[in-house]
Amino acid sequence: MLFTYPVEALACNWLNDNIIASLVDGMTAIDGGGTPLAWPNCLPGATRESLRRQTGLRNRLTSFWAAYANLTPDGRTTVRDVVLQQTNVPNVYGDTTLHCCSLDTLPPEVQPAAEDLADYAFDKLSSLKVDGTALRDIHFKAIQDSGVKVCPFCGLQNFQPAGLKRNALDHLMPISKYPFVSSDFRNLPPACHACNSLYKKDADVLYDNAGNRRSCCDPYGGPVYRVSLLGSRFGEGNDVGGYTMPRWSVSLEGEPALQANTWDAIYRVKLRYEHTLDRDFLGWIKRFALWLVREDPAVRDKPPDEISEEVPRYVENVLQEGFDDASFLKAEAFQVVASACDDDEVGEDARAWLANFVYYAT
Ligand SMILES: [Zn+2]
């Protein structure tokens, strides 16, 4: 991803932990030959008051424990292991030595209860309130207040401004496979519509389609990567509107590479950047030409060499910094132009190409 969310947004991230603590306490009581504490004493003390009226939670925990009590000792061990593995967030994101079994490895008798509890807990994020504000709204507002306006998984789409409908939360570890982190905000980064609904969908960030373990970025802890277009070849790419685009070479700079690979495999960012560049590059060049002519109309009489020398000044003074308006991509694209203009082989062509936009800028 391009940047991370602030950890302050996790200030009210207590629901999942408390449900799991209660679930595990009940399982321990059953393993000891007893029964889970009665409602609401089975809830951790700190949240007992907030959750005691949630009888839907009581019913789901009870169903889960009833199914658990009927398991063999091996079955119970499996359940405990899977709960521990799935809730080991964020460690499980980056450490590929940690196994993380999914729902279908649980004994079939407890699977429906686990799914039901997961759905219930996730829904509760929208209705459980602290000081009159739902947990999801507290979480999203903290992200908005930190100045995040753009989706960090692609940098191409804006988030909804404050006061409008929230952006969707993306289950990084999908709820269909990892029910025990369904309501953990650490597993629930907001994502833009394209990232969430067109690319990520139900993809598993921990295992690829062949079942190989992979690692992913922690949306609140990183790592983060820089998009570079170094190695793009001027005048060798696709034909767009009668112009030959550069042949874009998108790389994700940063360490470790494994997380970047997963990011790209799931969100297809390199492909999306290539298409965005093909679509927007000419517009960016035309805007550069207009800016230059507006700054100094006499520039139209200058030779291509002097025009191309203005590119670094444009990047430094006019292009925005950060992630608004795809500026991270725009600045890199102008870098490709600047390098091409300096190149021994294609420099003359590149400078003439660029100067033509200035000569005909209107
Ligand atoms: Zn996105």
* Residue 43 CA to ligand 1 centre (angstroms): 37
* Residue 1 CA to ligand 1 centre (angstroms): 10
Q: Is residue 163 part of a domain?
A: yes
* Residue 341 CA to ligand 1 centre (angstroms): 32
118 and 54 part of one domain: yes
34 and 135 part of one domain: yes
Q: Is residue 17 part of a domain?
A: yes
Look-up: residue for tokens 């658990």? 68
Torsion of Cα atoms, 164 then 222 then 205 then 138, to 10°: -30
Q: How confident is the model at residue 161 (pLDDT cuts 50, 70, 90)?
A: confident
Burial bucket for residue 135 (CB in 10 Å: 0-12, 13-18, 19+): buried
* Residue 352 CA to ligand 1 centre (angstroms): 36
262 and 303 part of one domain: yes
57 and 150 part of one domain: yes
What are the E-state strand segments in 205-286? 226-228, 239-240, 243-244, 251-253
- Mean pLDDT, residues 343-353: 96
pLDDT in tens, 10-51: 999 999 999 999 999 999 999 999 999 999 999 999 999 999
pLDDT for the residue numbered 324 = 85
29 and 99 part of one domain: yes
pLDDT for the residue numbered 306 = 96
* Residue 142 CA to ligand 1 centre (angstroms): 19
* Residue 195 CA to ligand 1 centre (angstroms): 4
Residue 285's nearest CA partner among 252, 230, 246, 321 is 246
Q: Is residue 214 part of a domain?
A: no
Please state the domain count of the chain: 2
Give the span between the Cα atoms of 353 and 271, in whole angstroms.
26
43 and 150 part of one domain: yes
Q: Is residue 189 part of a domain?
A: yes
* Residue 192 CA to ligand 1 centre (angstroms): 4
- Residue type for position 228: S
Range of the domain at 233: 226-359
190 and 75 part of one domain: yes
Give the span between the Cα atoms of 253 and 248, in whole angstroms.
15
Q: Is residue 212 part of a domain?
A: no
pLDDT for residue 323 is more than 90: no
Lowest-confidence region among 123-127, 260-264, 322-326, 349-353:
322-326
Q: Is residue 217 part of a domain?
A: no
Prediction pTM value: 0.94
233 and 187 part of one domain: no
* Residue 172 CA to ligand 1 centre (angstroms): 13
Give the span between the Cα atoms of 88 and 82, in whole angstroms.
10
282 and 353 part of one domain: yes
Q: Is residue 219 part of a domain?
A: no
* Residue 233 CA to ligand 1 centre (angstroms): 27
CB atoms near residue 20 (< 10 Å): 21
* Residue 204 CA to ligand 1 centre (angstroms): 17
145 and 237 part of one domain: no
What is the average pLDDT value for the chain, to the nearest integer?
A: 95
Q: Is residue 211 part of a domain?
A: no
**Token pair of 67, please?**
């199914």
121 and 249 part of one domain: no
